[in-house]
Amino acid sequence: MKIGNLEIKPTAALAPMAGVADSAFRCICKEFGAAYMVGEMASAKGMHYSARKTRDLLGFCPQERPIAVQLFGDEPEILAEAARKALEFQPDAIDINMGCPAPKIAGNGGGSALMKNPVLAGKITEAVAKAVDLPVTVKFRKGWDDEHVNAVEFAKIMEQSGAAALTVHGRTREQFYSPPVDLDIIAAVKAAVSIPVIGNGDCVDLESVINMYDYTKCDLVMIGRGALGSPWLFRRIDRYFSDGLLLPDPPLEEKMQVMLRHIRLICENKGEHRGMREARKHAAWYMKGMRGAPAFRKQSGELCTYADAERLAQAVLEKNA
């Protein structure tokens, strides 16, 4: 599939997950076959005031391509300025977050709050599209709540405003991440526009990815929480769509090797002290399905050094031998 002139293998993309899908995690997912990814969302207003933390969110390694940087905010001029500033990082696309349900984002007029004001959302998309010579994409939801389901109308406005592709999470803002995703609304958006549509929500394994493609006819599937502790999911998807091969889960030894490599990358990027604090949640996710998982998740939350992670991996292997 193509977003503007950007060619993307129609397998699976990694979703932007704040505080989770950083460069280290993106690199791991890319090694396993993630076809496309979007970076952690950065505040356009923060970039306007040159906040270093915000700029740090936009950095990525060459091997992560193709990649979009994601911006959020509610002022067209500020978002356009942020998009121009983001060009120094040389992303492949600019994504605008109009779907984040977090109160600190939506409560300030950004993220999913823009679904309540499609006219303003259109002005933002138009301003960003005019500001940069890159594909501009928009990520949004089914609607604000069950009484205001406007994804199809919203999608049409985004297309008319210059969006090159759309990502639709099939839940309202009020639903956050449950109940089950509404595939019908993603299918309706796909039928209503001529630009590519990326389906998002509840894609946690190969079967749910296949179902998303078959049911909605979307152009690409985006995986978020399903990849946490399971980045090899991208390998399973890639091999299935490449040659129909159904790969089993990797052996436990490989899982622990991946976890340790992931933690090393976090520490290389952020230093061991900060990196190990951030690695704790990832280590806990890697414990899914292990014998003794509750105890190992508790140990994960106490990791302080990389050596601690090595001891944890060894304990997991011994317990599950």
Structure tokens at 3: 């977003």
Residue 52 confidence class, pLDDT cut points 50, 70, 90: confident
Tell me which of 224, 243, 262 is where a domain ends: 243
CATH of the domain at 43: 3.20.20.70
Residues 100 and 204 grouped into a single domain = yes
Q: What are φ and ψ of residue 244, in 5° steps?
A: 75, 5
Residues 171 and 256 grouped into a single domain = no
Residues 211 and 291 grouped into a single domain = no
Residue 51 confidence class, pLDDT cut points 50, 70, 90: confident
Residues 103 and 67 grouped into a single domain = yes
Q: What share of the chain is helix, strand, coil (3-state, %, to 5)?
A: 50, 15, 35
Mean pLDDT of the chain: 96
Rounded to 5°, the CA angle 66-69-72 comes to 150
Q: Which has more pLDDT, 47 or 159?
A: 159
The reported pLDDT for the residue numbered 24 is 97
From the list 12, 6, 17, the residue with the least C-alpha distance to 32 is 12
The reported pLDDT for the residue numbered 321 is 87
For tokens 């995703």, what's the residue? 181
100 is catalytic: yes
The reported pLDDT for the residue numbered 1 is 93
Structure tokens at 140: 């949004």
pLDDT digits (tens, 9 = 90+) for 211-259: 999 999 999 999 999 999 999 999 999 999 999 999 999 999 999 999 9
> Residue range 90-115: average pLDDT?
97
Residues 97 and 196 grouped into a single domain = yes
From the list 208, 316, 202, the residue with the least C-alpha distance to 258 is 316
Residues 289 and 216 grouped into a single domain = no
CATH of the domain at 280: 1.10.1200.80
The reported pLDDT for the residue numbered 55 is 73
Residues 236 and 265 grouped into a single domain = no
Which three-class secondary structure state does DSSP give residue 95? strand
DSSP 108: T
Question: Any bridge partners for residue 167, and if so which?
Answer: 139, 198
Alpha-carbon torsion 121, 122, 125, 130, what sign?
negative
Residue 30 confidence class, pLDDT cut points 50, 70, 90: very high
Question: Any bridge partners for residue 43, and if so which?
Answer: 72
Catalytic residue, from 27, 29, 100, 203: name it: 100
pLDDT > 70 in the chain, percent:
100
Q: What is the CA radius of gyration of the chain?
A: 19
Its domain, for residue 280, covers: 252-319
pLDDT digits (tens, 9 = 90+) for 174-209: 999 999 999 999 999 999 999 999 999 999 999 999
Residues 58 and 184 grouped into a single domain = yes
